[in-house]
Amino acid sequence: MSKFDAIRPFYDTEVNDAILKMIDHPMMKALMNFTFPDLADEIWKEQLRRTHSTRDFQCNFIYRSLKKVLEKTSDGLSTSGFEKLEPNTAYLFISNHRDILLDTSLLNACLFEHKLVMTASAIGDNLVTKSFLKVLARLNRNFLVQRGLSPREMLQSSKLLSEYISKLLQHENRSVWIAQREGRTKDGNDATNPGVLKMLAMGSDEENLMDYFKKIKIVPVSISYEYDPTDALKMPQLLAEARQEIYIKEKNEDFINLMSGIMGPKRRIHIHVGDVLVDELDAIKGQHENSNKQIQALAQVIDDSILSNYKLWPTNYIAYDILNQTDTYSHLYTENEKSLFERRLEMRIDHSNSLALQSFLAMYANPVVNKLKYENAV
């Protein structure tokens, strides 16, 4: 028994048993029929029966599923920055968070294609309440972040999580993906929650936090989707927050968002990996002795990287211009692109609800506003 058993992915020795228990599950059949539409069920089942490691499962099945998702629901994935990463090296990827499963899955597909170390990835246990999804997550090298805990339990959980992440990075040479905040960005404002960094800091084995963060090689990641398939699904929560009401999720809401994110149309997608943070950490160490101030400064450095490297699409510029009743960025999109966006707006949002209209437009426009803070970035 390991103290990490409640949160860790499967060991390779457990993979085959887990697959065999799920091989006849209707969701496994749906996933495999989507991925291999021309294969008889018995053929992919036989291939699954011969799978004995996480890497084989990821590369032979999940990677193929992802390529099929991109083919059917997007106009392609572009990347930048991966050439800066070293092979056989573990990194801590801290990413903005737009889609429940795709953010980390697409990053891993890119790491695989660039022959780099793939990640173990954090996922909220609220997203895998269905037994099949939990097994699939653990097969796909996800580790669980426990949600809905009391403050005391939260402290214990954070300590365990930070130790596990430190173990992966420093002793198993396994990269790690974690979102910059709990939950997806709903309003288009990507911001690092210092609480995530405080949790990571609990795993420190250095006197100065910045020395620890330098050792575990933090790489900020910016991911952007031309269209967010879940944009309209995010509206109830945004409207509740705007009215200062407590938002309570519907039953199965997470699952609906998860499936919509995967299967909904996205058009183009871009992933940028930033520079490994080194000089920035030395500067923070020199400027601040207090660890809380160091963490605040580090959150800002991560934000600067994510926001300045965020790829803006015509949809972002169109939303900005409509929201601000201007044509400032009209040279960056076509009339056809604008009418497509307006059509989406018409179909998804009640135009008599001005708050809903504003919130929907701001979701796409805020990345432009945020990027304007950086000279020559837009």
Check residue 312 and report its DSSP letter.
P
The pLDDT assigned to 375 comes to 67
Q: Return the bridge partners of 120, or none.
A: 176
Residue type, 169: L
Apex 100 CA angle, 218 and 2, nearest 5: 65
DSSP string, 107-159: HHHHHHHTT-PPEEEEEEGGGG-SHHHHHHHHHTTEEEE--S--HHHHHHHHH
Query: What are the CA-CA distances from residue 37 to residues 27, 33, 64, 273 (Å)?
Result: 15, 5, 12, 33
User: Which residues, including other chains, have CB under 8 Å from residue 239's CB and lie 6 or more apart?
Assistant: 355, 356, 359
Tell me what the mean pLDDT of segment 323-328 comes to. 96
164-222 confidence digits (pLDDT tens): 999 999 999 999 999 999 888 888 899 999 999 999 999 999 999 999 999 999 999 99
| Contact of 365 with 341, CB cutoff 8 Å | no
**CA-wise closest residue to 92 among 5, 196, 176:** 176
Give the helix/strand (H/E) hosting 317. Answer: helix 314-323
What pLDDT score does 254 carry?
Answer: 66
Q: Which amino acid is it at 359? A: S
15-74 pLDDT, tens digit per residue, is 999 999 999 999 999 999 999 999 999 999 999 999 999 999 999 999 999 999 999 999
CA-CA distance, 26 to 29, in Å (whole number)?
Answer: 5
| Strand 119-124 versus strand 175-179 pairing type | parallel
Which is more confidently placed, 255 or 129? 129
What does the block give as tokens for 315? Answer: 């949809």
Strand partners, 223: 271
Q: 124: which residues sit within 8 A by CB, 6+ positions away?
A: 144, 145, 147, 182, 183
Report H helices in 188-290. 194-201, 209-215, 235-242, 253-263, 279-287
Q: N- to C-terminal Cα distance for the chain?
A: 52
Q: Do residues 147 and 135 lie in contact, with contact meaning Cβ atoms separated by under 8 Å?
A: no
Is residue 119 within 8 A of residue 168, CB to CB? The reply is no
pLDDT of residue 378: 62
